Amino acid sequence: MTMSALHLLPHGLTALRLAFAPILYQLILSGRGDAAVVVLAIAMATDAVDGLLARRFGVASRTGAHFDFWVDFVLIEAVFTGFATTGTGPWAIPVLTALTFAFFIATVRLTPTMYDPVGRNIGGILMGSAFAVLALRDLMVAQAAFLVALGALFVTLGARTIFLARLWRTGLSS
């Protein structure tokens, strides 16, 4: 493999994860939990290494980070919309995920880093919850995983709202 091809590898892995989104949606709809868990595991592995490789090869960029962020969003939406469409998961998760990501984008200039620990790891928490649902295939575990996902979304939305409220109040008083 040439050096330039190696440099493309991180973006290629992120793009591969994007390609997995419709596949995962379809697998969940058709009840192929066994195949879906394998695809999701590969997607989570690419999420873990694409950023590392980008920094290793010196090709880390703001565009790459944004691409990674959007791909995570699309993948998570595809998985949880699949669960909701089959009636096994709550619609509140894809709706709250969209709201949370929109909130991050709208306020990113005010809070340039995802400062709260849950918010910084929200993608991993949501993917981990989906992985537990598909890997364990037990209805109670699935409901617990959905509650964890909902709880994490509420925690990060709440933390960001409080942070922004404090920022706004500080701005008013200064």
Partner 1 sequence: MSGLLRGLIVAVVVVVVLAAGSLAWLNWRVNRETVTPLQKLNSGGTAGRALAVLSPGLSAFPTDIMTAFEEGLIEKGWRIDHTTASSQATAHFPDYDLIVLTSPIYSGRVAPPLLAYIARSGDFGGKKVAVLLTAGGAPDDPISSTEALLAEHGAQLTAIHGYAVYQPNDPENKYQGSNTERAVQMARDAGRALADSLQ
Nearest to 139 by CA among 91, 87, 93, 94: 87
Question: Of 3-11, 71-79, 81-89, 161-169, which part binds partner 1 (CB under 8 A)?
Answer: 81-89
Q: How far is CA 59 from CA 5, 19, 24, 45, in A?
A: 12, 22, 29, 19
* Binding mask of the shown chain, residues 99 to 138, with x at each position contacting partner 1 by CB under 8 A: ------------------xx-xx--xx--x----xx-xxx
85 near partner 1, rule: CB under 8 A: yes
Among 15, 16, 18, 32, binds partner 1 (CB under 8 A): 32
CB atoms under 10 Å from CB of 154, counted, come to: 14
Spatial separation of the C-alpha atoms in residues 144 and 3, rounded to whole Å: 45
Among 18, 92, 148, 164, binds partner 1 (CB under 8 A): 148
Spatial separation of the C-alpha atoms in residues 61 and 7, rounded to whole Å: 12
158 near partner 1, rule: CB under 8 A: no
CB nearer partner 1, residue 66 or residue 120: 120
Q: How far is CA 71 from CA 16, 29, 107, 170, in A?
A: 9, 20, 19, 35
Question: What is the nearest approach in angstroms of partner 1 to the Cβ of residue 55?
Answer: 13
Spatial separation of the C-alpha atoms in residues 126 and 98, rounded to whole Å: 12
- Provide the token pair at 166: 């404090």
141 near partner 1, rule: CB under 8 A: yes
Question: What is the nearest approach in angstroms of partner 1 to the Cβ of residue 31?
Answer: 3
33 near partner 1, rule: CB under 8 A: yes
Residue pair 78/25 in contact (Cβ under 8 Å)? The answer is yes
CB nearer partner 1, residue 11 or residue 76: 76
Contact positions toward partner 1, by CB under 8 A? 28-34, 36, 85-88, 117-118, 120-121, 124-125, 128, 133-134, 136-145, 147-148, 151-152, 155
